[in-house]
């Protein structure tokens, strides 16, 4: 029997799609949802399932930013063949994404037992949700929002890429929240920070999903729930991306800060009263 039913896979797919790119922690919300549905969050099949359905959300990014990705990859290919093309920002940006992904890959492989063990606790998720809120609020207030996407540099990409490690080690901190906050502290505007977060998430999250695929299927997650969950996360994530880019163009991140604090405090309450098990 599958560790996750079709109905549960639909719910988890919706949660993944809504929260993957919003700065509210998809991992945290998935763990909370799994806990409320009595799904063991540390079951290898469940861990693999949640990593694989992220590929649906990543596919949504690939479709939504297809023209941008083609432009960047094309510039990278031209630069590999022609030195004259290597001054182009898109060529440099492609390399920056590659280099900025290496730190999270190294830490992810080295700290895998810790990440899937003690750090997977819902207590960690609750604390990280609130701590990440403080970081996001400070970043949004201190950032001068004066630099656009064309102003990004190798230093920006590396610092933002390395900030993904915070979310890897502390589920609840939010990969999107960490990357966007770091970009804001580097004075990027909100739209540029959001788009940079999207692009840096593509290789990291795709790699994680593919790496966990064998464990998800081999440990009893079931092929049908994986397919359904991934498809649902794709559709919902696409709509979420479109909404987020419009939202950050006109609003601050304060709404997300307040939401994260409320969810973090609620989770502490559920854990403290025994409604949820850590």
User: pTM, whole model, 2 decimals?
Assistant: 0.88
SS3 readout for the chain: CCCCCHHHHHHHHHHHHHHCCCCCCHHHHHHHHHHHCCCCCCCHHHHHHHHHCHHHHHHHHHHHCHHHHHHHHHHHHHHHHCHHHHHCHHHHHHHHHHHHHHHHHHHHHHCHHHHCCHHHCHHHHHHHHHHHHHHHHHHHHHCCCCECHHHCCHHHHHHHHHHHHHHHHCCCCCHHHHHHHHHHHCCECHHHHHHHHHHHHHHHHHHHHHHHHHHHHHCCCCHHHHHHHHHHHHHHHHHHHHHHHHHHCCCCCHHHHHHHHHHHHHHHHHHHCCCCCC
Local confidence band at 277 (pLDDT 50, 70, 90 cut-offs): confident
pLDDT higher than 70, residue 219: no
pLDDT at res. 171? 84
> For 128-172, how does the pLDDT look when each residue is reduced to its tens digit (9 = 90+)?
999 999 999 999 999 988 999 889 999 999 999 999 999 889 988
b (16+ CB within 10 A) / e for 184-200: bbbbbbbbbbbbbbbbb
Task: Please report the pLDDT score of residue 214 as a whole number.
Answer: 65
The partner residues of 147 in beta bridges, in order of sequence, read: 188
The more confident residue out of 255 and 214 is 255
Phi, psi of 188 (to 5 degrees): -70, 150
State residue 76's pLDDT score: 95
Write out the two tokens for 99: 């280099």
pLDDT digits (tens, 9 = 90+) for 230-251: 999 999 999 999 999 999 999 9
Whether residue 194 has pLDDT greater than 70: yes
pLDDT of 1 reads 45
Q: How confident is the model at residue 79 (pLDDT cuts 50, 70, 90)?
A: very high
pLDDT given at position 216 = 63
């Amino acid at each position: 029997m599958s560790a996750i039913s079709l109905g549960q896979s639909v719910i988890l797919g919706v949660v993944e799609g809504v929260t993957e790119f919003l700065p509210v922690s998809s991992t945290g919300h998935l763990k909370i949802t799994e806990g409320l549905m009595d799904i063991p969050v540390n079951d290898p099949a469940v861990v693999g399932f949640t990593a694989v359905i992220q590929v649906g959300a990543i596919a949504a990014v690939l479709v939504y930013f297809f023209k941008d990705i083609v432009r960047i990859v094309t510039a990278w290919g031209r630069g590999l063949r022609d030195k004259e093309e290597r001054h182009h920002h898109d060529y440099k940006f492609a390399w920056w994404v590659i280099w900025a992904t290496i730190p999270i890959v190294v830490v992810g492989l080295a700290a895998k037992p810790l990440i899937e063990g003690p750090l997977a606790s819902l207590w960690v998720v609750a604390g990280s949700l609130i701590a990440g809120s403080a970081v996001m609020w400070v970043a949004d207030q201190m950032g001068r929002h004066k630099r656009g996407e064309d102003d990004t540099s190798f230093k920006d990409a590396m610092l933002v890429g390395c900030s993904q490690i915070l979310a890897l080690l502390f589920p609840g901190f939010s990969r999107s929240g960490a990357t966007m906050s770091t970009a804001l502290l580097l004075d990027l505007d909100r739209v540029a920070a959001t788009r940079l977060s999207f692009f840096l998430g593509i290789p990291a999250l795709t790699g994680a999903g593919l790496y966990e695929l064998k464990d998800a299927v081999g440990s009893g997650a079931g092929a049908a729930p994986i397919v359904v969950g991934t498809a649902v996360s794709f559709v919902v994530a696409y709509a979420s991306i479109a909404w987020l880019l419009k939202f950050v163009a006109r609003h601050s991140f304060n709404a997300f800060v307040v939401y994260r604090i409320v969810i973090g405090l609620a989770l502490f309450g559920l854990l403290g009263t025994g409604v949820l098990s850590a």
